Structures are given as C-alpha cells and as structure tokens.
Amino acid sequence: MAKKLNLENLAGGAFTERVNQAIQEVMENISDPNTPWKTKRKVVITMVFEANEDRNITNVDIVSKPTLAPKEGVHTNIIIDRDLDGEIIAAEYKKQIPGQQAVKIDTETGEILEKKENDNQDNTDGLKIVK
C-alpha cells in the first residue's frame, strides 16, 4: 500500500506553520482599522517540485505568501502663522478658534500679554537690508 503525504507533517510541520502564519497575517490585516474593510485578501501557497534524474527524489520548495490590504493614508491640516515675536509657527488644525494658536505669557506672573496697538508693524529686529 502506498504511503500518502500528510500536509500537517510535511517538512517537519513547517508547511502547516507557514500556512498558519500567513493566515494569521491576513486576520490581523482584516482587523486593522487602518486598512479598507472591502479589500479582498488572499494566501497563496506555492510548492515547487524539482526531481532528480532518476526521478526517485524530489526537492520541494514551499512558500506561503499573504496578499494584504495596504494601510490607508492619513490626512490632516496644518496652520502656518507667525507668533507675536514674528517667528514661524505651525500647528495641526483641530477646529481651533482663529488667532489663538500663539499666546505670549509673562513667565514671572503667568499673565497673558496683549499685543500693543503700535505693534502692528513687522518685527524686523536683527535684520539688515542687503543690496
């Protein structure tokens, strides 16, 4: 009676281990909220058989390859402005009240400092005009 191959024991159990690992990767990808739910995933098991000249022994290469859904891109908005000292600042836009990205605070008292009315001109201290 001919002995049949058992896939669970093939390559010392490595075949089953590779298949289970690929399926686990697919399950993790499906449960990842950063991937689209509708994308189809798959696991491809490739077995390549290479026989010797006498055809009594064959080398078998086994590869399991999962095809996963890519992670979705992330989108955000960034506000770019200048602070009260004229320095460039950037902050992620999260429905803030306009004009409240930067506040100048007196470090000794903790008091919020208001911009003076005659401070409407650009702060150019330390800049030189070069011709």
Percentage of residues of the chain with pLDDT beyond 70? 78
The label of the residue with tokens 């950037």 reads 90
Whether the predicted pLDDT of 46 surpasses 60: yes
- HSE toward the beta carbon, residue 105, CA cutoff 13 A: 9
Top-confidence residue, 12 or 93: 12
pLDDT tens-digit map of 94-119: 765 665 555 677 778 878 777 665 55
Tokens describing residue 3 = 């002995």
Enter the tokens of residue 98.
Answer: 């306009």
How far apart are the C-alpha atoms of 63 and 45, rounded to whole Å? 6
User: CA nearest 65: which of 81, 47, 83, 86?
Assistant: 47
What Rg value do the Cα atoms of the chain yield, rounded?
32
Mean pLDDT of 62-89: 89
83 near 123, Cβ under 8 Å? no
Residues near 119 by Cβ (< 8 Å), separated by ≥ 6? Answer: 84
